[in-house]
Structure 1
Amino acid sequence: MTTSTTVLHVDPGPLMPSVLTPPISKSDAQRALVLAHLTGAWPLSDIQDEPEEFLPADVRVLRRGIEALRLPPGPVRDVDCADGGAPFRILVTQAAVTPGARVRLTGTPRLGERPHGPLFDSLREALGPAGLSLTQGAPWPVELTAPTSTGEPVFRVPGAQSSQYASSLLLGCAALFLRERRPWRVEILGALTSAGYLELTVSWLRRFGFTVHQTEGRYEVAAYQAPERAPAMPGDWSSLGYLLLIAWHTGGSVERADLASAHPDQALVRIVEQVGLQSQVGLGNTLRLTGQARGGLVASGTECPDLLPTLAALACVLPAPSTLHDVSILRLKESDRLEGIRTLVDAFGGRTVLEGEALTVHPPATRPARFAMDSRGDHRLAMVSATLSVLSGVPLALTGPECVEKSFPGFWRQLERTGVRLS
């Protein structure tokens, strides 16, 4: 966890409609960067042309890691993954399938605490007999030497905890298919958590020209034909979640909202229909929400875990309780987001009830005059706290606002476009 003493005061005074712009999707960009590296489409113009200060930190981390893997074979390549869970997991597999690569990966203490064992075990099982060496410090560094040959073309990995393991391995299958010209597959053991993110990976593989066969719990990369052009990069649906709710409250709209995206957090558009909000599509992938909120909402961490904090912020201003299911996955993020949500609701004067995997959010009968929140170094907790401030009109004192760099460096500038005052 990153600690900070910086306090940002968010004053949602007189607000005005505005067209709000999300960053490019870090989930999409990470997958596209790997596939561009593998297929020869590197560099991707959509990412290269994005101003550096607007690029999510996780995208910058992964790009640096891929650039390190593209260097000629030689000395150990050092890769700092910072706090990026997805970049780290993706890069571990890409390093393992880069013949002869010697890589030393490091990251923050919090990243080291997050679970990676199932991914490491899968790589060792599949590539260990061919010579893969993968060792872990306490928790850093993770040191890896990749084999120059392979054996049985299959990775087996548990589906619990995170779909990032399967996504990382499936991108590894693409690399191995191009190298060996034989099908490689991922077999998922048990139920898969956050399956939408694996479907996003499959979608990007197909956009880059790979044939992916799917059966129950089995994904096989079976063929490749180069597409005519590299796919375009959509806006980030996780960031669009905050912006859409802010635009709804201020009478504005958002751009870069690709409704054809496979991103799991696009579920926001459907979930808010439960409370009477409707989406309206405009020209050029612009989108707005209209309607007056009523009742409470229901959502699941199995479908869209990164969206749950955003929905919890909305739940605090709804007229009835809301329930978030399958919430234990939130404990394994950049912070313990389940406790972060409960702290936010409590700070706002509401209350939560946790029963097993279900968290019920009861909005306050009376809103506070102001509230305070510590981001705990977690970008999503910082942005949902500010979103709640805007939705409620209640000033916020936020400790640790700089962590938004991880996924949405321009978030505070977007808030200022609506009239929010920051000090």
Structure 2
Amino acid sequence: MTQLHVDPKQLVPAVLTPPISKSDAQRALVLAHLTGAWPLPVLQEEPEHFLPADVRVLRRGVEALRLPPGPVRDVDCADGGAPFRILVTQAAVTPGARVRLTGTPRLGERPHGPLFESLREALGPSGLVLTEGKPWPVELQAPTRTGEPVFRVPGAQSSQYASSLLLGCAALYLRERRPWRVEIIGPLTSEGYLELTVSWLRRFGFAVQEQEGRYEVTGYRAPERTPSMPGDWSSLGYLLLIAWRTGGGVERADLSSAHPDQALVRLVERAGLATTPGPNDTLRMTGTARDGLLASGKECPDLLPTLAALACVLPRPSTLTDVGILRLKESDRLEGIRTLVAAFGGTTHLEGETLTIHPPASHPPRFSMDSRGDHRLAMVSATLSVLSGVPLSLTGPECVEKSFPGFWQQLERTGVRLTS
């Protein structure tokens, strides 16, 4: 695994550009496939090297599902949790499809059982065959008919299950012209991501009714135009903090986006920071840090590592709640956050689902971090380096390709010196 040295000693202002939102693009890709808007024009215009790896993975999977019925279709999901879960459902609702899905060992370790059981319960009596390897491959043979139009799934572990199934409901509505619904059992974590799915369904012309844990696709009318694609708010989180430190700004910051990580704009206010919008979806962050942060993993789990980096340079402790979900990501991000804080000289205290971050009394002369193959840990480590002005030695920087292929180029625009 390679090592990258990040030297933030000579920073300059710059306007930084995030990639398109992978969460938005994944939903839009599936809906473009279902509604006849394929290929999605905005993705055709985006440079291939700037597309997040997860988006490329999902696009290849959808292209495989679009092939005429025939032999088993092999789909490599790499390390993409959302692409894998979305493609499992889309394969299960594509009449007669035979699909073999594979991925990395870490993806195989992540929890998928509730999604599999929901698909078996709804479509198994109609002929769905879904077999699991240990952990790979996962093989599906889709039925050509269906039964009761409902998927039931627990909500506590991941909202991706419900999002995947709701996109499946859209496919089944178009095929059968009868309402299909998702019923969520128990509390729903990361509800904002399911609302993002609902938002994209409506933008593509679907009618969706919501009522107390029940989401039902009840109609469809083709939209007048293909929806546009916002910048990625997960990536904007790093860039906004970097721009605050360097006196620059960011573009593609659509404040009307439904992405949960847009919560950053509100959450940093408690610490004394504010964002100012400019023309053409540009945004600047200003202010002087005067307090700690308070944020919940139920609202924006992917944002918590970014906030943890900011917490290391704030004058008071910060509190992250509902952090257990972080253990189930591309790596154990809860442990990753604690490792990052410790590497920077701070301390953490974990009590149940609440993590308190105490920043160090003084910054270290330099620090080291291993990304553990997790794109977010790599980028938040670099963000902390810029925020603090402290050089970083990072092991495994290449993993940023998963969500932000141009991250290191954006960092260099701020005067950061990168050497291997």
**Matched ranges for 1:124-139 at <5 A:** 124-139=120-135
Residues 127-168 of structure 1 deviation map (CA, whole Å, 9 limit, x = unaligned): 000000000000000000000000000000000110000000
The reply on whether 1:93 has 2:101 as its aligned counterpart is no
Amino acid across the alignment from 1:61: V
Q: Which residue of 2 aligns with 1:109?
A: 105
Q: Which runs of 5+ in 1 are unaligned?
A: none
1:206 aligns with 2:195: no
Aligned to 1:41: 37
Any residues of structure 2 matched to 1:241-390 within 5 Å, and which?
241-390=237-386
Runs ≥4 residues deviating over 3 A: none
**1:105 aligned partner, one-letter code:** L
Distance 1:75 1:368 in 2: 58
Q: 2:183 aligns with which of 182, 187, 194?
A: 187
Count of aligned pairs between the two proteins: 419
Confirm or deny that 1:150 pairs with 2:146: yes
Residue 141 of structure 1, aligned match among 137, 141, 144 = 137
User: Counterpart of 1:10?
Assistant: 6
Instruction: Please state if 1:392 is matched with 2:393.
Output: no
In structure 2, the residue corresponding to 1:284 is in which secondary structure? helix
Amino acid at match of 1:301: G
Offset of residue 27 of structure 1? 0.1
**What is the distance in 2 between the residues matched to 1:322 and 1:244?**
19
Partner SS for 1:138: coil
Provide Cα deviations, 1:322-355, integer angstroms capped at 9, x if missing partner: 0000000000000000000000000000000000
Deviation (angstroms), 1:14: 1.1
Measured in 2, the distance between the counterparts of 1:230 and 1:42 equals 10
Partner SS, residue 14 of structure 1:
coil
SS at match of 2:182: strand
Instruction: Provide the C-alpha distance between the structure 2 equivalents of 1:122 and 1:290, rounded to a whole number of angstroms.
Output: 46
Q: Where do residues 13-24 of structure 1 align in structure 2 (5 Å cutoff)?
A: 13-24=9-20
- Rounded to whole Å, the distance in 2 between the matches of 1:89 and 1:275 is 36
Which sections of structure 2, spanning at least 5 residues, go unmatched?
Answer: none
CA distance in 1, matches of 2:173, 2:228: 24
- Cα deviation, residue 13, structure 1: 1.4
Distance of 1:344 and 1:153 partners within structure 2: 46
Deviation at residue 49 of structure 1 after TM alignment: 1.1
Amino acid aligned to 1:421: R
Match of 2:161 among 153, 165, 182: 165
Partner of 1:120: 116
* Counterpart check, 1:402 vs 2:388: no
The equivalent of 1:220 in structure 2 is: 216
User: What do you get for the CA RMSD once the two structures are aligned?
Assistant: 0.3
Q: Distance in 1 between matches of 2:169 and 2:392?
A: 46
Please state how far the C-alpha of 1:7 moved relative to its aligned partner.
0.5
Q: What code does the residue aligned with 1:113 have?
A: E
| Cα distance in 1 for residues equivalent to 2:169 and 2:40 | 21
Separation in structure 2 between the aligned mates of residue 30 and residue 377 of structure 1, nearest angstrom: 21
Task: Return the letter of the residue paired with 1:16.
Answer: V
Q: Distance in 2 between matches of 1:21 and 1:366?
A: 32
Alpha-carbon distance between aligned partners in 2 of 1:237 and 1:269, rounded to the nearest angstrom: 10
Amino acid at match of 2:261: D
Cα distance in 2 for partners of 1:269, 1:106 equals 37
Name the SS for the 1:279 alignment partner: strand
Aligned to 2:76: 80
- Structure 1, residues 232-291: CA drift from partner, whole Å, max 9, x if none? 000000000000000001000000000000000000000000011111000000001111
Q: TM-score, normalised by structure 2?
A: 1.00
Q: 3-state SS of the aligned residue for 2:101?
A: strand
3-state SS, counterpart of residue 98 of structure 1: coil
Please tell me whether residue 28 in structure 1 is matched to residue 19 in structure 2.
no
Per-residue CA deviation, residues 171-193 of structure 1 (Å, 9 max, x unaligned), is 00000000000000000000000
TM superposition shift of 1:224: 0.1
Paired AA for residue 197 in structure 2: T
Structure 1 residue matching 2:95: 3-state secondary structure: coil
Q: CA deviation at 1:315?
A: 0.1
**CA displacement at 1:366 relative to structure 2:** 1.1
TM normalised by structure 1 equals 0.99
Give, as a single letter, the amino acid of the residue that structure 2 aligns with 1:53: H
Counterpart of 2:387 in structure 1: which amino acid? L
Match of 2:61 in 1: 65
Deviations 1:376-423 (A, max 9, x none): 000000000000000000000000000000000000000000000000
The code of the aligned residue for 1:360 comes to T
